[in-house]
With several copies, the nearest count.
Chain A
């Protein structure tokens, strides 16, 4: 079975911004995203506020090629890191039928 080497971008942050990040990720080239409710603590976690959808912290994941990953990480770090509670990282994954996500 052929597997395509792609990147998994994970962003965890306060839920007030996570819907926007998911949408912006798609605009920057991701073919989709997966969002999970979470809870967490960090250096600025107390900033999180309750939104009407419930969770204070959310995690969003994108399976993307490296260029898109870079774009998303740059965008997130430039737009949100200063004032919002959030963390972002990158990992290597092998994706089934990965050509769909290029």
Chain B
């Protein structure tokens, strides 16, 4: 399946770049940019950055940050399970299996594209290439949430099972990048004759930890819970749970504001590292997001997603993990410099996606014909 799709893609890619630059589209992008940027969620991120840069005093207790992360993951899972149950009751698995497969495929593809670019274009070490690839192979739940609220505001809500796709996208990319990195380093070490120390024995442990990590347990667990309780509960009894978790609701949106404020505070600190990581990584953080975003929109469209769905899938494929990936990479590839990967994921790709990426993916999806 991969080969024909890829050649398809190569035929399609160049015109995209040209087409995307037409004046009308540019003005539409600028318009959505405004509609996207001047809302509380990205503005809170900006406030966080400003606060850090001027050495302001905002301090979000890390327990609040962790609690909101837990709530957001539970919420995405629960709503996902709820919508999946409706979709399933109406259409069985007929509408879902293709997008699910496409997502899985993208989850396996993106760590490899990332690794190749980092290693052979960027000439980074194996460890750094694999470490960064693990981040870009996975996804960011917050980028999902922001993209989702963007398409809802644009009156093109995504297909209901998108949260399921987030769950699918979480793991494979990290796993593939780590295995790749560990294997290549072992080979290199064997060649050089050096004895490996920490990290090596920890690969399987780390893979297991990724697969049973907080993100995946909460999202997948609540997905099942949301599914089951939608199936078995009366609507009235279900309502308060839905109100609590629902992603259009005040709790989800409000918590997202606070979460992005904290992310802005952290990203602001990382801004200083942009100089250290150099221009290649900055270009990579934007470029790979655009490439992966286009792949996401393209395969999403092939798999039959609607306009909102393509946009959101593009955004999550383009996004990089900064919660699940860092500890896993740190344990498995200790030689990799976390400053590179976290700065790229958090201070380059994340803000790019939030501010510019999502509207661009929306236009890409439109241009591809998604409706």
Is B337's CB under 8 angstroms from A49's CB? no
Q: A16-B330, A46-B339, A52-B59 are in contact. List 6 more A-B contacts (CB 8 A).
A: A17-B331, A47-B339, A52-B66, A52-B213, A54-B61, A84-B198
Picked from B197, B199, B273, B330, the residue with its CB within 8 Å of the CB of A78 is B197
Residues of chain A with a CB closer than 8 A to B323's CB: 50, 52
- Find the A residue at minimum CB distance from B335: A83
Picked from A53, A78, A84, the residue with its CB within 8 Å of the CB of B334 is A84
Give complex CA distance A48, B269 in Å.
14
Q: A16-B327, A47-B339, A52-B214 in contact; A79/B197 too (CB < 8 A)?
A: yes
Residues of chain B with a CB closer than 8 A to A50's CB: 62, 323, 326-327
A80 at the interface (CB under 8 A from B): yes
Is B339's CB under 8 angstroms from A14's CB? no
- Find the B residue at minimum CB distance from A17: B331
Is B198's CB under 8 angstroms from A83's CB? yes
Is A54's CB under 8 angstroms from B63's CB? yes
Q: A46-B339, A83-B335, A84-B334 in contact; A51/B327 too (CB < 8 A)?
A: yes
The contact string, 1 if C-beta is below 8 Å from chain B, for chain A 39-68, is 000000011111111110000000000000
Secondary structure of the A contact surface, majority rule: loop
B342 at the interface (CB under 8 A from A): yes
Residues of chain A with a CB closer than 8 A to B335's CB: 83
Identify which of residues 192-218 in chain B touch chain A, using a CB-to-CB cut-off of 8 Å: 197-199, 213-214
Is A49's CB under 8 angstroms from B330's CB? yes
B338 at the interface (CB under 8 A from A): yes
* Residues in chain B within 8 A of chain A (CB atoms): 57-59, 61-63, 66, 197-199, 213-214, 273, 323, 326-327, 330-331, 334-335, 337-339, 342
Give complex CA distance A16, B335 in Å.
14
Can you sample 17 A-B contacts with CB below 8 Å?
A: A47-B330, A48-B338, A49-B326, A50-B62, A50-B323, A50-B327, A52-B57, A52-B59, A52-B323, A52-B327, A53-B59, A54-B62, A54-B66, A78-B197, A82-B334, A83-B335, A84-B198
Give complex CA distance A54, B62 in Å.
7
* Residues in chain A within 8 A of chain B (CB atoms): 14, 16-17, 46-55, 78-80, 82-84
Report the 7 A-B pairs with minimum CB-CB distance, sorted nearest first: A83-B334, A49-B326, A52-B214, A52-B59, A16-B330, A51-B327, A79-B198
Give complex CA distance A78, B195 in Å.
12
Picked from A49, A79, A80, A83, the residue with its CB within 8 Å of the CB of B327 is A49
Residues of chain A with a CB closer than 8 A to B199's CB: 83
Give complex CA distance A50, B334 in Å.
15
Residues of chain A with a CB closer than 8 A to B66's CB: 52, 54
Residues of chain A with a CB closer than 8 A to B327's CB: 16, 49-52
- Find the A residue at minimum CB distance from B199: A83
Chain B proximity of A17: nearest CB distance (Å) = 8
Residues of chain A with a CB closer than 8 A to B213's CB: 52
Give complex CA distance A53, B213 in Å.
12
Residues of chain A with a CB closer than 8 A to B59's CB: 52-54
- Find the A residue at minimum CB distance from B57: A52
Residues of chain B with a CB closer than 8 A to A51's CB: 327
Most chain A Cβ neighbours within 10 Å, of B323, B334, B342: B334
Is A47's CB under 8 angstroms from B337's CB? yes
Residues of chain B with a CB closer than 8 A to A16's CB: 327, 330-331
